[in-house]
C-alpha cells in the first residue's frame, strides 16, 4: 500500500508533515509513504529524523497557496504537490492522498483528477465527533454550501458505507439534522430529503436536533455543508472555551487548586478525547479514491494520524463499498 502525502501543505510544512509521516511509518512498517515536495528540501529532512526506508520523495516543484483560486490552480500548476498526489491515486500508483494544503484546491484536485464515483451527485466532507455515548459522523461539513435532497441521500449512503466497511459498525443509524424531531419539521430541503432517505436501505432514525449530536443519538448526522460547517466551528469554539473555563476556575483559589488536582486526570482524558489531532483529518467521500484533508495548522501528531486514517480507509475498501451500496439507491422521481 502506498500513501501519497503533500509535504508542503499546511502552515508548518514540511517539518511537521515529515515528522508525522515518520511517526506513521514506524507504526505501520509495511506501508510505503511518498512525500511530495521539492526534493532538495525534503532530502535534508529525512536523515535528520532518521526516517525509515519505506518513506521516499517524489519531486513536486510547485505549491498551491491558500489564496489561489482552486480550479485555476489545479489546471495551471501540474507540478504542484496537490496535483501530483491526486494523479498518483488516479493512476493507481498510490492508494490514498493526504494533504494539509488548501481545502478548496485539494477538493478541486480530487474532483478533477480522481473524479466522482459514478452515481454520486456531490462529494462531501465527513467529520468525526467523539461523543461519550458513541462517535458521531457528520456530513457534509463544508464541501457544499447549497444542497439538493438527492445530495443528502448520497451523503447518508456514503457515511453508512464507511462505518460498515472501515469502522465495522454493523448497522449504523442515520439522522437528518433539523429543527425538530417530527417528520414535517425543517425547511424544504430537509422535508424532501427525509422522504428519499426513508426509502433507502438504511437504518434511518428520522430527524435529529442539534442537541442530539453531543448525546450521540445516531451514528451519522446528515446536513448541507453550510449547516455542517457552522456546527463544526461552533463545537470547536465551545470545546476550547469549556477547557479554558475549567483551567481558570481551577486556579482561582487554593481550595480550587486542590479540587483541580482531583479532577485533573479526568479532564486530561477528556481533553485528549476531544483533541482534533487525535483523529488526523477529514475524509472527502464521493471521489474515486481515498482523500484525507487535514487542518492547515496540523501538528506532526495530526498528520501521522491522518496517514493512519488513510491506511484504515484503504484496508476497509470504503470506495468499493460505496460503489456496491449505490446499487440499492432508490430511484429519484423525475
* Per-residue model confidence as pLDDT tens digits over 44-65: 888 888 899 999 999 999 999 8
At 137-155, the pLDDT tens digits run 999 999 999 999 999 999 9
In the chain, where are the structural domains located? 1-119+286-334, 121-279
Q: Phi and psi dihedrals of 176, rounded to 5? A: -105, 120
Binned at pLDDT 50, 70 and 90, residue 125 comes out as very high
The C-alpha atoms of residue 127 and residue 283 are separated, in whole angstroms, by: 7
Task: Output the CATH code of domain 1-119+286-334.
Answer: 3.40.718.10
Closest CA to 88 of 57, 119, 65: 57
What is the fold, at CATH topology level, of the domain defined by 121-279? Answer: Isopropylmalate Dehydrogenase (3.40.718)
User: What value does the mean pLDDT take over residues 201-206?
Assistant: 96
**Summary mean pLDDT of the chain:** 91
For 29-59, give one letter per residue: b (16+ CB within 10 A) or e: eebbbbbbbbeeebeebbeeeebeebbebbe
Per-residue CA distances from 249 to 253, 265, 267 (Å):
8, 16, 13
User: Given the C-alpha cell 449547516, which residue does it identify?
Assistant: 227
Residue 70 has what DSSP assignment? H
Residue 334 has pLDDT above 60, yes or no: no
- The per-residue pLDDT for 11 is 78
CA distance 289 to 280: 18
* pTM score, whole prediction: 0.90
Dist CA 94 CA 104 (whole Å): 21
Give the number of other Cβ atoms within 10 Å of residue 320's Cβ. 12
Domains 1-119+286-334 and 121-279 share a fold: yes
Q: CA-based Rg of the chain, rounded to a whole angstrom?
A: 21
Residue 20's closest CA among 295, 334, 319? 295
And the C-alpha cell for 38?
Answer: 521539492
Amino acid at each position: 500500500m502506498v500513501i501519497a502525502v503533500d509535504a508542503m501543505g499546511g502552515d508548518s510544512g514540511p517539518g511537521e508533515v515529515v515528522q508525522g509521516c515518520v511517526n506513521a511509518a514506524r507504526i505501520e512498517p509495511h506501508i510505503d509513504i511518498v512525500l511530495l515536495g521539492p526534493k532538495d528540501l525534503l532530502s535534508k529532512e529525512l536523515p535528520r529524523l532518521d526516517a525509515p526506508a519505506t518513506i521516499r520523495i517524489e519531486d513536486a516543484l510547485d505549491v498551491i497557496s491558500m489564496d489561489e483560486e482552486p480550479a485555476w490552480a489545479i489546471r495551471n500548476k501540474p507540478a504542484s504537490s496537490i496535483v501530483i498526489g491526486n494523479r498518483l491515486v488516479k493512476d493507481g500508483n498510490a492508494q490514498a492522498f493526504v494533504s494539509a494544503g488548501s481545502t478548496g484546491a485539494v477538493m478541486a484536485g480530487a474532483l478533477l483528477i480522481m473524479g466522482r464515483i459514478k452515481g454520486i451527485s456531490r462529494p462531501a466532507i465527513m467529520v468525526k465527533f467523539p461523543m461519550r455515548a458513541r462517535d458521531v459522523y457528520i456530513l457534509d461539513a463544508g464541501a457544499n454550501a447549497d444542497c439538493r435532497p438527492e445530495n443528502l441521500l448520497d451523503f447518508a449512503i456514503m457515511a453508512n458505507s464507511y462505518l460498515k466497511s472501515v469502522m465495522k459498525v454493523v448497522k449504523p443509524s442515520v439522522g437528518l439534522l433539523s429543527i425538530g424531531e417530527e417528520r414535517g419539521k425543517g425547511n424544504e430541503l430537509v422535508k424532501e430529503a427525509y422522504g428519499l432517505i426513508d426509502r433507502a436501505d438504511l437504518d434511518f432514525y428520522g430527524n435529529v436536533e442539534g442537541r442530539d449530536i453531543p448525546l450521540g443519538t445516531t451514528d451519522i448526522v446528515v446536513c448541507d455543508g453550510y449547516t455542517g460547517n457552522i456546527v463544526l466551528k461552533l463545537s470547536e469554539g465551545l470545546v476550547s472555551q469549556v477547557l479554558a473555563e475549567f483551567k481558570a476556575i481551577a486556579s482561582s483559589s487554593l481550595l480550587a487548586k486542590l479540587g483541580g488536582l482531583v479532577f485533573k486526570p479526568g479532564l486530561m482524558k477528556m481533553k485528549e478525547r476531544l483533541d482534533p489531532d487525535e483523529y488526523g483529518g477529514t475524509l472527502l467521500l464521493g471521489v474515486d479514491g481515498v482523500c484525507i484533508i487535514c487542518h492547515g495548522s496540523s501538528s506532526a501528531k495530526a498528520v501521522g494520524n491522518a496517514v493512519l486514517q488513510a491506511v484504515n480507509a484503504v484496508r476497509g475498501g470504503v470506495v468499493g463499498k460505496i460503489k456496491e451500496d449505490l446499487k440499492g439507491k432508490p430511484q429519484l422521481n423525475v
